[in-house]
A and B are shown apart, each in its own frame.
Chain A
Amino acid sequence: MSLTNEQLERYSRHIILEQVGGKGQEKILSGKVLIIGTGGLGAPAAMYLAAAGVGTIGLVDFDVVDLSNLQRQIIHQTQDVGKAKVESGRETIAAMNPEVKVHTYNEQVTAANIQDIIRDQDYDFILDGTDNFPAKFLINDACVLLKKPFSHAGIIRFQGQTMTYVPGEGPCYRCVFKEPPPKDAVPTCRQAGVLGVMGGVLGTLQATEALKYILGAGQLLTGQLLTYDALTMAFRKVKLPANEDCAVCGKQPAITELFDYEPPTCKLRNTRVG
């Protein structure tokens, strides 16, 4: 693969970087990233990854664009209200960078389909942009079982957190959080609200991790949880040990098959705000 003159120009600010260069940009161009949820986190992540030239981007979302999404889900425009989010996302990416191949999965991830979705393009890196605990644990378990690296993130109000899982290089999400909190113990963004930019900050950090993983550059957030408090502008990194007794990635895992914590929520109950 050799870069065309147009690619040299489009990606020139990358190629100039010592850690990227032409070879690194070629890695990005052949990179494959799956983004689960095209909401607050997934929208900016998808846009930056598309702009960066990630060759294959998968978008998973079952929802349609709602007027209340537009305050933060910047991949969707006012005219897209009512349209499937994955279609709206595809159109934005195509306009930004026609080089990117977009695969859409207009469905909710479940134990029954998530492995097939990840295997569909044999994605290199998965980005969790979902807004609910069942999905987050499902993505974690699927990535552990399929030995795929992924970036976790969550946002609410003025707060966000993110961590990166790489097989064999530190704890998984379940090592740290064990299992979902009781239903309704933690409010969703719909109930609690979220400052629109939080998705931009955390989603962009997730995209950064995806690019660094593809490039093999720098240190990933493995074994660390990065938290961000926008009110105090405090970033904190908390060290996370791997848990030998983890139910999915521990020495004697109890979880060897995927399962759903709760049946898929009704499409009409729009709680997707992640």
Chain B
Amino acid sequence: MSIAANGFIDITDVTCPITFVKTKVALEDMEAGQILEVHLNDGEPVQNVPRSLKDEGHKVLELTQNEDGTYTLFVEKGDAS
């Protein structure tokens, strides 16, 4: 199933920690409860970005691997930030 996102960000062109920085800044411009779709690479990004987002109080809804090896992440903005 696909989730209807309120925003999209591609972080496959940057490396950690800019991956998380860009995702965090994108979420800052959204309302709590809104959903951001993130396109990210395998390896460090997929290991670190979802974890860092959870640490900041956001909710990781879905993480799926695409055919090209990249990932798609749906994250719901938490109340805290």
A9 within 8 A of B: yes
A21 contacts B24, CB within 8 Å?
yes
- Cβ distance A260 to chain B, nearest Cβ, rounded Å: 47
Chosen A-B contacts, 12 in total, with CB atoms closer than 8 Å, are A8-B18, A8-B22, A8-B25, A12-B17, A12-B21, A15-B24, A15-B25, A16-B21, A16-B24, A16-B52, A21-B81, A22-B24
Partner of A21, one of B18, B28, B52: B28
B81 contacts A18, CB within 8 Å?
yes
Report the nearest A residue to B20, measured CB to CB. A16
Partner of A16, one of B17, B28, B81: B17
B31 within 8 A of A: no
Number of A-B contacts (CB under 8 A): 30
CA separation between A23 and B21, bound complex, in Å? 12
Report the nearest A residue to B25, measured CB to CB. A22
A8 contacts B28, CB within 8 Å?
no
B56 within 8 A of A: yes
Contact residues on A (Cβ < 8 Å of other chain), bracket: 10 to 19
Instruction: Please encode chain B, from 1 to 45, with 1 for each CB lying within 8 Å of some chain A CB and 0 for all others.
Output: 000000000000000011011101100100000000000000000
Which residues in chain A, 1-48, are within 8 Å of chain B measured between CB atoms?
3, 8-9, 12-13, 15-16, 18, 21-23
- Cβ distance B30 to chain A, nearest Cβ, rounded Å: 12
Report the nearest B residue to A14, measured CB to CB. B21
Residues of chain B whose beta carbon lies under 8 Å from any beta carbon of chain A: 17-18, 20-22, 24-25, 28, 52, 56, 81
A23 contacts B18, CB within 8 Å?
no
Candidate in B17, B20, B21, B28 with the most chain A CB atoms within 10 angstroms:
B21
Inter-chain contacts of B17 with A (CB < 8 A): 12-13, 16
Inter-chain contacts of A12 with B (CB < 8 A): 17-18, 21
Inter-chain contacts of A13 with B (CB < 8 A): 17
